[in-house]
Amino acid sequence: MHFLFKSTAIIAASWFITPLAMAKPTSSKATSRPNILVVMVDDLGFSDLGCYGSEIQTPTLDRLAANGLRFSQFYNTAKCHSSRVSLLSGQYCIQAGDVHLSKAVTSAEVLGKAGYFTMMTGKWHLKKEPTDFGFDRYFGHLSGACNFYKGDNTFRLNGEKWNVPKEGFYTTIADVDHAIHFLGEARKSEKPWYLYIAFNAPHAPLQPLKEDYEKYQGHYTKGWDVIRNARLKKQRDLGLFGKKLTESPRPDHIQAWDTLSADWKIFEEKRMMALAGMIDRVDQELGRLVANLEAAGELDNTMILFISDNGACPYDRKRSQRKIEEMPYNPNVTWADSTGWAWMRNSPFQFYKQNQFEGGISTPAIVHWPAGLQTKIGSIIHDPAHIIDVLPTLSEIGKAPIPDSWPGRHLNPVSGVSLAPIFAGKSLNKRPPIHLLYESDRGLRIGDWKLVSFKSQPWELYNMANDRTELNNLASKEPERLKTMIKEWHRMAVDQLQAPAHLRKPVAAEAKPHTHREWSDHSKGPTEAGPKKTKSRRIKRKTKFKKTMPLQGSE
């Protein structure tokens, strides 16, 4: 079955202008178990949606937020594969058995056992295949990233190899094409359904459709300093942070836009146009899917959750391919990310993907469920939440108990908590500490306090109620609190995550500048080669597709 993006783009446009039921939220309560739609995008910045401050056109997601709720403190793991593990398992990545999922059950297995028809489309990035972990239907790629026009040889359809068409293919559209096809099968089964869509966009390679790219011509000529300030103003106007927000300044490792050479400005403008076009396309395809749910009479009692796997990516890889005369909608052009735009896209926070600072772990999170939400529509939820909370939430609303045992696996207990009380208009009150760890980046959130370390450098301590942008390090002023939180971080790392010793080594005694060799260096021309790329020990250990190796940096 081949799906061509030219025809589906026309259908998307016609469906999108159909009046949506979500524009008129209902007060009816769910009388049966809801259908469940979980959407995860890849490398989305905190401010990349209109309802989170962006200039990018995301009307579908903006309407879902306006008629549902948004979270202002929803965390992921700051990394692709680990967020996917936690989303599916309700556990921290290492605790769940990492990419093997050997110590966990998945949401598809839990809901499937309870009578749900389970489906997935998009990026997998874990071991085996989705059909090995409870999904009745699957279309997508097993790799961590692929060419959006050409795909790769890891594409599968229901466990069988699927050959990408040589023409007329675009991954983001194909994901929704197959999702809609699977929904037709689910409806025939007369079961409630669970659909997980894992878009690869806007992960590199930056490859928008031509019409989506051209839509943003002229939008980014003023550069990241000006655009970030505009996003910050909009975030304040939206009420995302209250009055206590102090934005983080542009860091030393990012040049002021006005100091860039003319060639750099041209190239960087085109990179951001490409990113905007890719995000815009995700929203268009979600609009097509939402219209399909409305036409089937399912939108009212479908719980929709939208999140990202980590913050915007700063890694400026494949530097030899930066040619300003190229166009990113050419399937042979495979540009990578920009540190300057990543800083802008994570407004108002510091740092990026992989880091446990707010810029790395904070995701837009939208819930839409007219028949189930008892909160005021359009509410902004300020309770901290984490991606490990997804499985417990789905378990509760789907009336699907999480088992204590599973054939062939020794299960660890779920670490997340259900967010259903929030859906009912209540607060979570006191939740367990949130443990943060990816390789040498560490953190811990307890109430309003956050402990964080950049690449095993000295611990930093922040009061998130007063300093969400992590500008005022209180480590020296709160020595007892610092000591207590460090002890708790290590206790959880050992007892709960079962993290190996090399991930629990003491932090450094002296701080160094927070920088990385793969962040953008504008001291050279766009086409000059950057530092020699070294292989990541984690990538080599975790990714064993051999013939289906994802693009470099897809982790």
The verdict on 379 and 453 lying in the same domain is no
The verdict on 385 and 492 lying in the same domain is no
Which of 406, 429, 452 is the endpoint of a domain?
A: 429
The verdict on 392 and 465 lying in the same domain is no
The answer to whether residue 532 is domain-embedded is no
At 384, the amino acid letter reads: P
The verdict on 295 and 401 lying in the same domain is yes
Question: Which residues touch 242 (CB under 8 Å, ≥6 apart)?
Answer: none
The verdict on 157 and 240 lying in the same domain is yes
Q: What does the DSSP 8-state code read for residue 499? A: -
Q: Which two tokens stand for residue 200?
A: 């690869």
Using DSSP's 3-state secondary structure scheme, residue 104 falls into: coil
The verdict on 78 and 101 lying in the same domain is yes
- Residues 362/52, Cβ–Cβ less than 8 Å: no
Is the CA virtual torsion 95, 97, 98, 101 positive or negative?
negative
Where are any strands of DSSP class E within 223-370?
302-308, 365-368
CA separation (Å) from 520 to 222, 253, 348, 552? 18, 8, 20, 17
The verdict on 369 and 481 lying in the same domain is no
| CATH code: domain of residue 477 | 3.30.1120.10
DSSP assignment of 22-68: GGS---PPP-SPPEEEEEEESS--TT-SGGGT-SS--HHHHHHHHTS
Peptide bond into 458 cis (omega under 30): no
The verdict on 385 and 289 lying in the same domain is yes
At 259, the amino acid letter reads: T
The answer to whether residue 300 is domain-embedded is yes
d(CA 224, CA 302): 37
Which of 429, 456, 490 is the endpoint of a domain?
A: 429
The verdict on 420 and 444 lying in the same domain is no
Query: What value, to the nearest 5°, has the Cα angle with vertex 287 and ends 425 and 123?
Result: 90
At 25, the amino acid letter reads: P
> How much helix, strand and coil, in percent to the nearest 5, is found in the chain?
35, 15, 55
d(CA 286, CA 71): 19
First to last CA, the chain: 29
Q: What does the DSSP 8-state code read for residue 532? A: P
The verdict on 188 and 312 lying in the same domain is yes
Is the CA virtual torsion 106, 107, 112, 114 positive or negative?
positive
Total structural domains within the chain? 2
The answer to whether residue 555 is domain-embedded is no
Longest pairwise C-alpha distance within the chain: 63
- Residues 240/72, Cβ–Cβ less than 8 Å: yes
d(CA 403, CA 177): 33
Give phi and psi for 141, each to the nearest 5: -115, 140
- Residues 304/37, Cβ–Cβ less than 8 Å: yes
Helices 262-295 & 5-16 angle (0-180, nearest 10): 70
- Closest C-alpha to 152, from 168, 137, 171, 133: 171
The answer to whether residue 12 is domain-embedded is no
The verdict on 424 and 447 lying in the same domain is no
| CATH code: domain of residue 92 | 3.40.720.10
Which of 385, 402, 429 is the endpoint of a domain?
A: 429
The pTM for the full model equals 0.91
d(CA 503, CA 493): 9
The answer to whether residue 328 is domain-embedded is yes
The answer to whether residue 547 is domain-embedded is no
The answer to whether residue 102 is domain-embedded is yes
The answer to whether residue 116 is domain-embedded is yes
d(CA 254, CA 272): 16
The verdict on 272 and 354 lying in the same domain is yes
d(CA 156, CA 17): 32
Over its length of 555 residues, how does the chain's per-residue pLDDT go in tens digits? 444 444 344 344 433 434 444 444 433 455 589 999 999 999 999 999 999 999 999 999 999 999 999 999 999 999 999 999 999 999 999 999 999 999 999 999 999 999 999 999 999 999 999 999 999 999 999 999 999 999 999 999 999 999 999 999 999 999 999 999 999 999 999 999 999 999 999 999 999 999 999 999 999 999 999 999 999 999 999 999 977 789 899 999 999 999 999 999 999 999 999 999 999 999 999 999 999 999 999 999 999 999 999 999 999 986 656 778 899 999 999 999 999 999 999 999 999 999 999 999 999 999 999 999 999 999 999 999 999 999 999 999 999 999 999 999 999 999 999 999 999 999 987 899 999 999 999 999 999 999 999 999 999 999 999 999 999 999 999 999 999 999 999 999 999 999 999 999 999 988 888 888 889 888 777 876 444 444 443 333 333 333 333 333 334
Residue 296 structural domain: 32-429
